[in-house]
Amino acid sequence: MKIAQKSIKFILIVALALFTSVNYAVISDQNHGNQNDGGRVNTKEEVEAYILHHIKDSHDFSLFSYTSDEGERKHIGFPLPVIIWTSEGLVTFMSSEFHHNDDGHVIVEKNGLKFAKIHSKIYELNKEASEVTFDETHHATNAHKVLDFSITKSVVGVLFIGFLLLFWFSRLAKQYKTQKIPTGFARVLEPLVLYVRDEIAKPNIGEKHYRRFTGYLLTVFFFIWTLNLSGLTPLGFNVTGQLAVTGCLAIFTLVIYSVSGTKGYWMHMIWMPGVPVLIRPVLAIIELAGALLIKPFSLLVRLFANISAGHIVVMSLIAIMFTLKESLGVVGATGLSLVLSFFITLIEVLVAFLQAYIFTMLSALFIGMAVEDHAEHH
Amino acid sequence: METLLNDFSPGLFAVTTILLLALIALMVKFAWKPILNSLEERESGIANALAAAENARKEMQNLQADNEKLIKEARAERESMMKEARAIRDKMIADAKEDAKEVTAGLIEKAQASIEHEKQSALAEIKKNVAELSIGIAESILKKELSSKKDQLELVEGLLKDVTLN
Amino acid sequence: MYNLIGAGLIVIGAGIGLGQIGGKAMEGIARQPEATGKIQTAMIIIAALLEGLAFGALFLGK
């Protein structure tokens, strides 16, 4: 059993190491007709398009793709199911039916409806249309977006990390049944749990209430951290760089601190005592906007922007390999890009932790503000 | 702002919400509750053990202090007993000396008294003897000399002189 | 074009703010090394708030 586990780990590590160099290097190729999510990239515009494509969610899990010498496109990865809510109800099919097309030229027909994928979004074509037409600003004129519940790459990432966390921490929990001090990998996890509890939850929420919220804070901390880190692996997840995911996390925090807010917290917000009555409504508006909009908005935007920016910077530095090839030569450009991207990746590892820490810390702080016992005087 | 909103996918939001809710529930049930409970148990166990060790240390200290006190007391008692014994001894010696002095003094006194007595009695004897002797002498002298009146007077006068001299 | 100028202004402002926070935190730590942990935590929180503000402005302008 132990040997089997070790060999699985070894294979995984080797696979990861193999993909490291290839995944980011293979960049989209728009010269190849309608294939534009992989292939050879040379110009600045192609690099930009590829990066912007990467930081979006995608409907198939492609590790890398390349163009063979015969000009044939090869994709390494697997398709994911598409589940969409259309004007005719729920429609499901595999994303492979789009044949990796991302600019709306491949039309998939299901249940008498036509679908196209444009910039990682699935559009439903109007009844009479047979192909997507675009206006000058590259907006589709005869198609509209559908509600997309697909198992996208981000959802796969969430599921993967969710199972990983469950596996790790339930094992840690099990270890406590037989021994006082965990052994192996669980020993690494224990101080992290203690760190979140003692450095984030306890001081910000207070000794009295922290127990109720520690579960949420721990989950969020490890969820964000592991997803941030997985974004740095060649798997190429950008889950915490999806507005929907960070928005979801921020709204969770908003709901938690709004629901658990004490009477004093709400009273101070809506009808601030100790202030002239005329100023109170003004203050109420400011406070409400702060608590219900600005706090969650800053939470969601910070995480999203940091992680997206990190991905853009790392990939841009890797792209130096192509963009500066002419002025620095192959060796110079590759060396420069290697050195720069290496150090920026190190910084990104720090940022991955820091963003998880800040998100959890601010969540704890907001919760602490909501549940603390307000004294009547100021 | 527009691109931001364009990037936002409500479907993904819904799916993530469901998954996150499930994840939080599962993690709380299967991981965080048992982990935090056992951690707290362990911490309270450690705190208890530390408190117990501290108590034991204090008790030990108390015991040691007690021991020392006992030893001190015993030493003091011994000292006082010694002192007492010494005092008794001294007193006994002194008493003995006193007694001896008294006894000797008494003996000496008695001896002196008896010596005096003996002396007195000896003197009395001597006086008696001397008187008898002198009477005898006087008888004989008287027998011989009292033939003449003149001699008689002379004798008496001579005797009287002697007596007063005595 | 105007977005870019705005973004530049935001970055200048955020940079000044972050510099102030970092500098004052350093001074605080130098003055009271035993309070390092507390100062760091407060520094990170305030820096995060500032960062959120700056990112918000950047994305509103985008």
State the DSSP H helix or E strand holding residue A162, giving kind and residue range, or none if neither: helix A153-178
Number of independent structural domains in chain C: 1
What residues of B are in the A interface, CB distance below 8 Å?
4, 7-17, 19-20, 22-24, 26-28, 30-36, 38-39, 42, 45
pLDDT at A30: 37
Smallest CA–CA distance from C58 into chain A, residue: A305
Separation between Cα atoms, residue B78 and residue B119, nearest integer Å:
60
ipTM of the complex as predicted = 0.81
Is C12 in the B-facing interface, judged by CB distances under 8 Å?
no
Which among A253, A227, A217 has a CA at the least distance from the CA of A165?
Answer: A227
DSSP B66-111: HHHHHHHHHHHHHHHHHHHHHHHHHHHHHHHHHHHHHHHHHHHHHH
**C12 has pLDDT over 90:** yes
pLDDT at A5: 62
Owner of token pair 């003449």: B148
For A221-259, write each residue's pLDDT tens digit: 999 999 999 999 888 788 998 889 999 999 999 999 999
Closest CB to A248: pick one of B16, B31, B36.
B16
Smallest CA–CA distance from A246 into chain B, residue: B13
Query: Does A180 sit within 8 Å of B24, measured CB to CB?
Result: no
Strands of A89-94's sheet in order across:
A89-94, A81-86, A147-148
Judging contacts by C-beta atoms under 8 Å, the chain B residues touching residue A84 are: 11
| Portion of chain A with pLDDT greater than 70, in percent | 88
pLDDT at A33: 42
pLDDT at A27: 36
**B18 has pLDDT over 90:** yes
Helix and strand totals (H; E) in chain B: 4, 0
How many CA atoms, within 13 angstroms, populate the side-chain half-sphere of residue A343?
5
Closest CB to A298: pick one of C41, C53, C58.
C53
Closest CB to B27: pick one of A180, A215, A244.
A215
CATH number at residue C39: 1.20.20.10
Closest CB to C56: pick one of A199, A298, A357.
A298
Closest CB to B10: pick one of A147, A219, A252.
A147
Is C36 in the A-facing interface, judged by CB distances under 8 Å?
no
**B103 has pLDDT over 70:** yes
Taking the CA atoms of residue A18, residue A24, residue A30 and residue A36 in that order, the dihedral angle to the nearest 10 degrees is 70
pLDDT at A377: 45
Query: Does A301 sit within 8 Å of C59, measured CB to CB?
Result: yes
State the DSSP H helix or E strand holding residue A165, giving kind and residue range, or none if neither: helix A153-178
pLDDT-based confidence at B146, cuts 50/70/90? low
How many CA atoms, within 13 angstroms, populate the side-chain half-sphere of residue B36?
22
Separation between Cα atoms, residue C20 and residue C26, nearest integer Å:
10
Query: Does C52 sit within 8 Å of A298, measured CB to CB?
Result: yes
Separation between Cα atoms, residue A294 and residue A254, nearest integer Å:
10
pLDDT at A10: 64
* Residues of C (3-22) whose Cβ lies below 8 Å from A: none
Smallest CA–CA distance from B3 into chain C, residue: C62
Judging contacts by C-beta atoms under 8 Å, the chain C residues touching residue A308 are: none
**Would you say how long chain B is, in residues?**
166
pLDDT-based confidence at A7, cuts 50/70/90? low
Higher-pLDDT residue of A34, A195: A195
Higher-pLDDT residue of A210, A101: A210
- How many CB atoms lie under 10 A from the CB of residue B87? 10
Residue range B98-105: mean pLDDT, rounded: 92
Query: How big is the A-C interface in CB pairs under 8 Å?
Result: 36
DSSP A290-335: IIIIIHHHHHHHHHHHHHHHHHHHHHHHHHHHHHTHHHHHHHHHHH
For A246-295, write each residue's pLDDT tens digit: 999 999 999 999 999 888 888 888 887 888 888 888 888 988 888 888 88
Handedness of CA A70, A75, A81, A83 (dihedral sign): negative
Host domain of residue C17 = 2-61
Closest CB to A245: pick one of B10, B16, B22.
B16
Q: How far is C4 from chain B (nearest CA, A)?
A: 14
Query: Does A299 sit within 8 Å of C49, measured CB to CB?
Result: no
pLDDT at A26: 39
**A6 has pLDDT over 70:** no
For A325-340, write each residue's pLDDT tens digit: 888 888 888 999 999 9
**B94 has pLDDT over 90:** yes
